[in-house]
Amino acid sequence: MEIKHSDDGKKGYFSAKEGEVKAGIMTYVWSNENTFIIDHTEGNPEFKGIGRKLLDAAVTYARENNKKIIPLCPFAKKMFDKTPEIHDVLSK
C-alpha cells in the first residue's frame, strides 16, 4: 500500500493505491497557514480500514509540521471523537 500526499498551498489530499488500484482518498483545504480542514474521505470497499490509514497519514503530517486539523468530514469527525490519542492535532 502506497500513500501519497499532495498539497498546492490552498488544498491537498492523501491518496492510497495498491499497485494500480485506487484504495482511497482524503481531501482537505487550508483554513489558515497552520490549520487544515479535512472535508472528504472516500474508500474503496475492497480495502477495509483505508480511511483510518489515510487519517493516520494526515495526523502524522500535522504532527511533523506543527499543524492542526479541523475534521468536517463525517468519517474524520467520528474518528477524532473516538480516538483521544490524536487530539494533540485537533484544532480547538
Q: What is the pLDDT of residues 71-92, one digit of tens each?
A: 999 999 999 999 999 999 999 8
Residue 59 corresponds to which cell in the numbers above?
Answer: 495526523
Residue 66's CATH number = 3.40.630.30
Number of domains in the chain: 1
By residue range, what is the domain housing residue 64?
2-89
Q: What is the pLDDT of residues 33-43, one digit of tens each?
A: 999 999 999 99
Residues 19 and 29: beta-carbon distance below 8 Å: no
> pTM of the prediction?
0.96
